[in-house]
Amino acid sequence: MPNIKSQKKRVITNNKQRLASASKKSALKTAIKNVLVAVEANDKAKALEALNVANSKLDSAVTSGIHHKNYASRQKSRLALIVNKLA
């Protein structure tokens, strides 16, 4: 535990940021999973809706520095491919 006042404050803000990042990361994983579940169920309408949500969350994760832009673009491409394969 730090003794300096500013470092004590820094510990608090770091914890807040860590929890916020973990929450965003978890929400992103859930959004991606929802796309995959909809594809498994062969529900194109639901899959497209879930894909839009996942794309939005991926962009948000890149903006907030949680993931790299290449990761987001790779995931978007991968998800779009499997959704587009649905008849």
Q: With CA atoms as reference, report the closest residue to 79 among 52, 59, 61, 41.
A: 52
Domain definitions of the chain by residue range: 5-84
The pLDDT of residue 1 is 84
pLDDT in tens, the chain (87 residues): 899 999 999 999 999 999 999 999 999 999 999 999 999 999 999 999 999 999 999 999 999 999 999 999 999 999 999 999 997
Q: What is 5-84's CATH superfamily? A: Ribosomal protein S20 (1.20.58.110)
Q: Which helix (H) or strand (E) holds 4?
A: none
The pLDDT of residue 38 is 96
